[in-house]
A and B are shown apart, each in its own frame.
Chain A
Amino acid sequence: MTATTQPPSTPTEATWRGKLQEDQPDTSVEKTAAPGQARALLWDLLRPHRATVAVLAVAVIAENVARLAVPRLVQIGVDDGVPPLRDRRDGSTLTWVIVALVVALLLQAGLRMFFLLRSGRVGQNVLLELRRRVFRHFGTLDVAFHDRYTSGRVVSRSTSDVEAIQEMLENGFDGLITAVLTLIGTAILLLTLDLKLGLVCLLSFPFLVLLSLWFRRESAAAYRQVREISALVIVQFVETMTGIKAVQAYRREPRNQQIFGELADRYQQINIRTMRLVAIFMPGVKLIGNLTTGVALLYGGYLAMRGEITIGVLTAFLLYLRMFFEPMQEITQFYNTFQSATSALEKLAVVLAERPAIADPATATALTQVRGEVAFEDVQFSYVEGRPVLPGLDLRIPAGQTVALVGTTGAGKTTIAKLMARFYDPQHGRVTLDGHDLRSLDQQDLRRHVVMVTQENFMFEGTVADNIRFGRPEATDEQVRAAAAAVGAAAFIEALPEGYATDVAKRGGRLSAGQRQLVAFARAFLADPDVLILDEATSSLDIPSERLVQRALRTILADRTAVIIAHRLSTVEIAHRVLVLEHGRVLEDGPPAELTSADGGRYAALHRAWVESLA
């Protein structure tokens, strides 16, 4: 069950996908499932419904008894009811049989409806629970996990994998229970009807088992690949649609079509493979069934000739044999959906077993009054082992101080910001807030006090007001407006056709890039954190807007700790203190005015260049 089957890549893939890690398949970000992990998850999901499942089992047994009684009753009717009627005009047996048949019929109908309704409900509730768990779990997993796993896979796991399971719960479940019970019921009937003949028929069993084992092994591997390749298709699709502007502007369509076409072909191929397996498995079962029937006919005919059984018994026997093999088709069908769902379950079970590297402590220190003192104590950090980004950072930011981080791209500024918000944990040393190690705090609690605004400024679907309110849902309209006004976003928002109630559309597409930054800024402002981190958060603004933001900053940062990362020194100048970083080390540290006048300093050089650029 654990063997990784790496799907072969497509011809052109090698030329475009590029390398990430040497000798490592892409799917390596996903661990393989332990044996039984999928089934354990399924049982766990079903556990709350134990009682209902038990009731359903009883109902389904009763229903099947009623259903299986029908041909038996018909047989009794024909064998015992009709002759007296014909010979003696005595219809009492027949009447009795017909009354029993009607009862059986009503029972069957009522129980069937009850079963379908209730099992459907259980199925849907199980799915809901699964969706919830998966969604919530992805939310608790740390940023490093998501960096690796990527959103496309998250989407694929939470949509198409869950739907594979839905298919099983919707279509397969009831068929399986009915089928298995029919199977057992008819097997017993066959044996009681005539032991010898029954035993001959049951000889087919080992063949069925062998065939099923083969199918299980083959299809488990194939369906695992189906899940993996469908994830690739989804990832490519989502990425194209997200970047559609660049796709169109750069006439990427034909190449994309080729890439997607190859992935889609792979998806088709693997689907065909699963269908091939079914195309062998199901007719195989049919063949075994037909051969058994043929043998039963010959042997039964022989027995009947010798008078060991009656013709009625033989007829009934062959009838039951049909009933015995008919549900086999359903079982194989279910088995197939079950295999498909199992590989999806495996994927999900692996995700659900993933423990966040950044977890809340068992007993979190409650943050009440936060002063906002942040300290890095000998912090060493690297994203990739062996390539340290922060080789050992010591930094103390007193409460209320505004610090600007300056340095070339890749110096580690964003990394410092992310460590402060505990997106990552350092490998060595610690980051503290008011003297508490961040690892001892509850994450949601921490992030109420420490907020980071990045260039990403993601907008969620909803209105402008919804997006501003994102950090503080209980804020009144008045407060939302005030926050917008404070950062200079009010003017443009009020000019929108529906003002604050304007829908920002997909990913904030209704707004210009600068407007999105302003909204993101208002959002952070409204959240009113004690420590505010701004990572190049004003880069798309025009100068007056930026100045308005700076002025707002000067007021709002007065009583809180702030870390500002910006390339425009106008923004840096409002800081109390500037840190010049290079390769994760602090090269210069001091008030801007002091650094500006320092001879031969990096900041001084930067400042000079900036002044020149303005001229």
Chain B
Amino acid sequence: MSLDQHPTVPGELISPSRVAPKDRGLHRTDLGRLLPYLRPYRARLIVMFAVALASLGATIAIPLFTKKVIDGPVAHQDVRGLWVLGLAALGLGVLEAALWMARRWLVQLASTGVENDLRKDLYARLQVLPMSFHGAWQSGQLLSRIMNDLSAMRRFIGFAAVLLILNLIQVIVVTGILLAMYWPLGIVVLISIVPVAAANLHYERQFTKASRAAQDQTGNVATTVEESALGLRVVKSFGREDYVYDRFDAQAVKLRDIQLRKVTIMSRFWTLLEVIPTAALVIVLAFGARAVALDQITLGTLVAFITFMLNLVWPIASLGFLLSMLQETMTASTRVVEIFDAPREIESTGAAEVTPAGRLELRDVGFRFPGTEQWALRHLNLTVEPGQTVALVGATGAGKSVLTSLIPRLYDVSEGAVLIDGVDVRTLPLSTVRRVVATAFEDPTLFSMSVRENLTLGRPEATETEIRRAIEVAQAGFVDDLPFGLDTRIGEQGMSLSGGQRQRLSLARAVLSDPRILVLDDTLSALDVHTEALVEAALRNVLHDVTGIVVAHRASTVLLADRVALLEGGTITHVGSHAELLATVPSYRFLLAADDELDPSLAHEECWETDEEKQAIAHAHATVGIPEDEERR
């Protein structure tokens, strides 16, 4: 629904949300800011409310009718009157039930619709929020928002909101009628409202705090569950089920304790609200009896008054849980709005859908992870012409992957600029940048979908021939041996693939998306030597036509590139051919010392192995090797 109503603006990958900006008036509270989501259901809600009011009228009228029947026909032996009024009462009863049904029927679409629209918009929002957001937020917190908090809202809209308003109206109307019936007793009823309001004020703050804590803790529990589920195989490898269980248990116990705090608050609040109307009833009886005794009212009026007052018991008592639900919904809306309010950071600008030639330039690039002081990259310069390929070489943790993630704007540079064809990527539409750049990541992510869908991730319109070609380049012919070929579901919910197979699919995906700039982040690491050679041969043709960045640890991969850039200390220190760097740069030789790899025995006499390192290792072995008996407990 949100997609049709909010067409994506050019350059945007996803439609914007409907959360109102924070301002005064109705939109002051977080719940208020979500009001625009009610708009599509406005008409329904108004009708529903009218129906609800009518049914309330029926609810109030029925006992009045009853009283009339008893006071009139029954008291005066009027059989015909009894039939007329009695049948009217029956009709009213049928009407009331019908109105109830209409109310519930009308609210269905509104309550689930608001939930659904919010869920979709929240998902959309989460999809465009930057990597820095996703790195910082616990996954369970997101999950609990999109499931729990939204269903709390649905329940509130579908059930509590109407009741809350109706019950308040009922309280007001009934009190008014009581005042009209006999005002001195009416005043007593009116005064009994005061403690209700006081109790609400008193408990509201406590309850809000507890419910926020409970909802947050629910997210923490979800996080632990998710982490344990995803890390299950590692947990099993180390036989650490007990440890993981203890971690979970601590969270679950904490959740229980917070919930108990809520229970304590609620038990007091609810009890108070349930007792107040009954207490008022007792007082009314006492005063009423006195009034009857003084002939100020008839006994009949007193009976009617008391009968009528019973109409207040339920509406007031129910305020307890209705107000609790309101509080919970407010908390939920705050938690949801937090996500809508998280900064996009990486905004899409510019509207022109151009297809650049693909000249890539990193100009004095500096990058810091949000919230850190250290520069991951600094003063980094690199230019790659279309058709050229640069191998990026650097030690583990040098910043190669960080660098590659700057090109498709998964992160934005902190200083300097990334330019494609001389244009700052930040001034291009995001969709253009990401269409032009394709990355095969070091950890190949496959989704639980068919092989085809996984491959065509970046280009749904790819033809069968193109898919075949990409599979060939990546040597991913194994897909044909899967039970249903390209239609086989893979990913977590499907067939499991080995690391090497996943990597090849990830490579095929990047190749298939037909980019101008192809980034391969250590994509061949899990391949066996034979396959690697085949992939490299095929890749050479692909790289010929694009701008290539190849992160490499091995000489064979480096040789795919025309030039090599050495990344050290967060910047590119040397650029040149493999042979040049090997000859002139000792640190490069150290990183790619191919000859030494041939003869592992040489490693021992390596000049780079300082005495310090030797000591560290000897020391390590001494410390870790603890006495047998202690270990074999």
Contact = CB atoms under 8 A, between A and B. Distances in A.
Contacts of A369: 632
Interface string A463-493: 0000000110100001101110110001010
Interface string A365-387: 00011100000000000000000
Interface string B70-95: 10011101010011001101101110
Interface string A350-372: 00000000000000000011100
Interface in A494-520: 497, 505-507, 509-515, 518
A315 B365 CA distance: 86
A421 B144 contact: no
B245 A135 contact: yes
Interface stretch (A39-47, A143-151, A194-202, A203-211): A143-151
A551 B603 contact: yes
A322 B447 CA distance: 57
B114 to A, nearest CB: 10
Given A151-B492, A297-B86, A478 B623 contact: yes
B279 to A, nearest CB: 6
A615 interface: yes
Interface string B362-395: 0000000000111000000000000000000011
B120 interface: yes
A139 B238 CA distance: 13
Interface in A415-429: 421, 423
B374 A497 contact: yes
B410 A287 contact: no
A611 B598 contact: yes
Interface in B138-173: 138-140, 142-144, 146-148, 154, 158
A449 B47 CA distance: 70
B83 A298 contact: yes
A409 B84 CA distance: 88
Given A116-B263, A509-B135, A541-B396, A253 B617 contact: no
Contacts of B266: 116, 120
A111 B501 CA distance: 65
Given A251-B431, A368-B632, A614-B556, A479 B624 contact: yes
Contact of B13 (A251, A311, A523): A251
A287 B93 contact: yes
Interface in A80-126: 81-83, 85-86, 89, 91, 94, 97-98, 101-102, 105, 108-109, 112-113, 116-117, 120-121, 123-125
A461 B228 CA distance: 10
A290 B93 contact: yes
Contacts of B62: 290, 293
A155 to B, nearest CB: 5
B591 A543 contact: yes
Contacts of B623: 478-479, 481-482
Contacts of B77: 305
Interface string A151-177: 110110011100100000001000000
Given A113-B271, A251-B13, A253-B128, A567 B527 contact: yes
A458 to B, nearest CB: 4
B195 to A, nearest CB: 13
A212 interface: no
Interface in A266-283: 267-268, 271-272, 275-276, 278-280, 282-283
Nearest to B111: A275
A497 B226 CA distance: 28
A160 B522 contact: no
Contact of A155 (B83, B222, B458): B222
A280 B104 CA distance: 9
B470 to A, nearest CB: 13
Contacts of B83: 298
B43 interface: no
Given A77-B289, A256-B127, A409-B500, A294 B492 contact: no
A151 B89 CA distance: 58
Contacts of A139: 228, 232, 235, 241, 244-245
Given A113-B271, A286-B96, A314-B70, A451 B237 contact: yes
A489 B484 CA distance: 43
Interface stretch (A12-20, A185-193, A390-398): A12-20
B626 to A, nearest CB: 7
B89 A297 contact: yes
**Interface residue tally on B, bucketed by range:** 35 or more
A614 B105 CA distance: 73
Interface residues of A, number: 202
Contacts of B222: 155, 158-159
Interface string A572-615: 01100000000000000000000000000000001001110111
A245 B285 CA distance: 70
A235 interface: yes
A512 B136 CA distance: 16
B73 A301 contact: yes
Nearest to B302: A78
B90 A291 contact: yes
Nearest to A66: B278
B410 A248 contact: yes
A448 interface: yes
Interface stretch (A3-11, A215-223, A257-265): A257-265
B570 to A, nearest CB: 12
B139 to A, nearest CB: 6
A253 B460 CA distance: 12
Contacts of A2: none
Contacts of A94: 286, 289
A324 B498 CA distance: 65
A437 interface: no
B116 interface: yes
Nearest to A97: B285
Contacts of B622: 482
B18 interface: no
Nearest to A513: B442
B533 interface: yes
A513 B522 contact: yes
For B83, B289, B483, the residue with the greatest tally of chain A CB atoms inside 10 Å of its CB is B289
A51 interface: no
Interface stretch (A53-61, A341-349, A525-533): A525-533
B487 A98 contact: no
B469 interface: no
Contacts of B621: 482, 486, 555-556
Contact of B460 (A143, A241, A255, A304): A255
B130 to A, nearest CB: 8
Interface string A403-420: 000001110001000000
B611 interface: no
B528 to A, nearest CB: 5
B82 A301 contact: yes
A279 B453 contact: no
Contacts of A18: 449-453, 484, 487-490, 494
Interface string B259-276: 110011011101100110
B239 A447 contact: yes
Nearest to A525: B624
Contact of B526 (A240, A248, A455, A492): A455
Contact of A113 (B100, B136, B268, B626): B268
Contact of A613 (B142, B434, B556): B556
Given A237-B146, A244-B127, A470-B238, 12 more contacts: A17-B450, A264-B119, A279-B101, A290-B90, A290-B93, A311-B70, A457-B234, A490-B616, A506-B134, A543-B593, A606-B530, A614-B595
25 contacts: A17-B489, A105-B279, A112-B271, A117-B263, A120-B267, A124-B259, A139-B235, A150-B493, A152-B492, A241-B142, A245-B405, A248-B434, A249-B438, A251-B13, A253-B14, A275-B112, A470-B240, A492-B396, A526-B624, A536-B499, A543-B554, A543-B592, A551-B617, A614-B555, A615-B594
Query: Closest 7 A-B residue pairs measured CB to CB?
Result: A290-B93, A18-B450, A514-B396, A447-B239, A120-B263, A18-B489, A294-B90
